[in-house]
Structures are given as structure tokens and as C-alpha cells.
Amino acid sequence: MVATVLRSALLGAMILAAGPALAVINGQVSRDPDGLRASVVRIESTQGEICSGTLIGPDLVLTAAHCVMHRAGYSVVAVDRSFRQRRILAIAASMHPDFVPGTTPEDQPGIDLALIKLERPLGSDFLPLDPRSSAIATGEPVDIAGFGVVAENRRGSAGTLRSAQLVSIGSLEVANRVTMVTDRRRLAETTGSGACLGDSGGPILRGGPGGYQIVGVVSWSSGAMRQNARARTACGGFTAVTPTGEHAGWIAERSAEFARLQPGDSRIGGRGNRSDWMAKPGRR
């Protein structure tokens, strides 16, 4: 019901201001050594792009496909219990076979999901999450986490892990089907908590420390319905999420194939995407 009522307003907001969720607006800095830092990572490319992702295995990261669709070098930055950053080379990435590279996230007709294989496993400081979760129910409270900016005009604020509480308002079909989440109090009428630049690929979670479940991956965001016409933003309104439970089969299948992949292998194999890539041996 909520999703039906907000549908036309949401589409209007998307047209006015929407874009990839390239930090969490109005989020809290994550400072718990046993909290989200153990599972959420930052993804950086040699082209200067930043995304977020989630560990689903010691050397596997789940993220958005549009975060890794370019032919570039990629690395993953994880934060250990002492909040020191560890950088690990990404040796391969596989996008969902339905994903169409070169399409903006809000116009993406396929599935905006990808897996990244790391050069080596992360240690016992880190906690992979299980993506085989049940669907996100309308009205369900969830958390968002990411390493992005706190506002579009504050690019220097990226790189710090932040989280915020949101609520699901149901599914939306534009080019593909996504789940929409938004600030629990403002319901995107005015700017509130949500994804922004750097949060693409980051997790939508249920549960709490020690019991987090990943239920979705951030794909794109839009600004609130009521904005200053002179300072429109694509952040702090609606956040579009790819539900992971609906694609658990592909994630499990690709994870198993990646488990057999070793540095120096020439191909990934299995059911991937024509834009899947592997790092050249020796590249750093």
C-alpha cells in the first residue's frame, strides 16, 4: 500500500534527481570493533571511483555490478579490529549474466550484482555474511552501511564507514525490479538518511552486531521529493536495492567457481557476463 501511494511521487523524484549511489547521508560513524567494519569493505579503482561491498567469504566480496564494469585496476580496503586499513588486490570480478554494462543504474534492465575475488583471504578479524536471506518485507526496518560521502558537495568525506536505519516501502519496477528503502521518519518527503556517492554496492542489513544478515545491495539513489530547486541532489531520498535472496542461486554458483580460481588463472569459467574480467598477473 505504501509503495503504491508513493510510486508516482518516487518516479517524479527520480526524473528530477537520480544517480548511482556512488556515504551514508545522516549516518553514524561505525566505531565498534565487533560491528560492521568486520563485514563491509571499500572498493577503489585506478580511475578514482569508490564503491562499497560486503564480505561473503574470506576472499569474496559482493557488490553492485556497475561498480566493477570498467576495465581498470581494483583493490579492496578492509578495516581491522584496530581500525587500520588493509588493502588487497582484486584479481577477478564477475557480473550477473543479465547485467548490461554501460547502462545507468536507474535504467539498468538486468541485475546490478557482482562478485569480486581477492588476491588472498582476509583473516580472523573479519566476518563474512550469508547472502541467502529471505525477502525484505514492506515496512521492515533495515540498516544501510557504506564508505561514501556525507553530501554530494563534500567529496573529501568519503572513505569512512557509516551506517543508518531505514525502512522498506516495497518494490518498484522501472527497468528492473528493486526494493525501495528510505528514512524511517521522513519517508523521502524531505532529505533524510540514505545512500550517496560511494555507497553503491554496500549492504542493506537486518539484525545487529554478531547477527547481521545481508538482504540487499545498494544500486542507486534519488533525492527527496521536496528539494531546493537551486541545490538538487540525488542523495537522501529513496535508495534502490537489489534483493540478494532472489539471486542466491547465482551468488552461490559463482562463489563456488571463484573458490577454485587462483592468481594467474587465465579465465573464470562458468556462467558469468561478457564483461567479466581478471587482473593481469603481476599488476598492482
Q: Is residue 201 part of a domain?
A: yes
* 189 touches 225 (CB < 8 A): yes
Q: End-to-end CA distance of the chain, in Å?
A: 50
In a domain, 79, yes or no: yes
Phi, psi of 141 (to 5 degrees): -75, 140
Give the integer Cα–Cα distance in Å for 67 and 113. Answer: 9
State the residue range of the domain holding 118: 37-128+247-278
- Per-residue pLDDT band for 175 (boundaries 50, 70, 90) equals confident
Residue 283 lies in a domain: no
Of the pLDDT bands very low, low, confident and very high (cuts 50, 70, 90), residue 255 is very high
Place of cell 565498534: 32
Give yes or no for residue 20 having a pLDDT over 60: no
Instruction: State pLDDT tens for residues 28-71.
Output: 787 888 899 999 999 999 999 999 999 999 999 999 999 999 98
CATH classification at residue 121: 2.40.10.10
Q: Same domain for 115 and 170? A: no
Is 186 part of a structural domain of the chain?
yes
3-state secondary structure (DSSP) of residue 121: coil
Contact in structure between 133 and 214 (CB atoms under 8 Å): yes
Q: Are 15 and 56 members of one domain? A: no
pTM of the model: 0.88
Q: Specify if 114 maps to a domain.
A: yes
> Tens of pLDDT along 194-223?
888 899 999 999 998 878 999 999 999 888
Is 261 within 8 Å of 117 (Cβ atoms)?
Answer: yes
The separation between CA 233 and the C-alpha centre of its own chain, rounded to angstroms, equals: 19
pLDDT at 15: 37
Specify the 3-state DSSP secondary structure of 201: coil
Does residue 70 form part of some domain? yes
pLDDT tens string 176-188: 889 999 998 878 7
Residues 84 and 197 in one domain: no
Q: Are residues 239 and 252 in the same domain?
A: no
Quote helix, strand, coil % in the chain, to nearest 5.
15, 35, 50
Position 115, amino acid:
L
Average pLDDT, rounded, for the chain: 84
- pLDDT at residue 14, rounded to an integer: 44
What is the C-alpha separation between 159 and 167, in angstroms, rounded?
24
Q: Are residues 20 and 54 in the same domain?
A: no
Rounded to the nearest 10 degrees, how much is the dihedral formed by the CA atoms of 79, 84, 88, 90? 40
Residue 148 and residue 199 in one domain: yes
Based on the fold, state whether residues 105 and 226 are members of the same structural domain.
no
Average pLDDT in the 92-117 region?
93
CB atoms within 10 A of CB 283: 9
- Please tell me the total count of domains within the chain: 2
Asked if the structure places residue 41 within a domain, the reply is yes
> Are residues 178 and 224 both part of a single domain?
yes
Q: Is 158 found in the same domain as 117?
A: no
Q: Which of helix, strand or coil describes residue 19?
A: strand
| Claim to verify: residue 135 and residue 207 sit in the same structural domain | yes
| Residue 268 to residue 263: CA distance in whole angstroms | 11
Give the position of cell 552461490. 252
With contact defined as beta carbons under 8 Å apart, do 17 and 227 qualify? yes
Residues 6+ positions from 154 with CB-CB distance below 8 Å: none
For residue 116, pLDDT over 80 is answered with yes
Which 3 state secondary structure label does DSSP give 222? strand
508516482: which residue's cell?
8
Q: Following CA atoms 234, 204, 88, 251 in sequence, which dihedral angle do they give, to the nearest 10 degrees?
A: -120
Pick from 280, 123, 145: nearest CA to 212: 145
Is residue 135 domain-shared with residue 124, that is, in the same domain?
no
C-alpha cell read off for 24: 551514508
Q: What is the pLDDT of residue 152?
A: 58
**For residues 166 and 57, is the Cβ–Cβ distance under 8 A?**
no
Residue 90 lies in a domain: yes
| Domain match, 96 and 57 both | yes
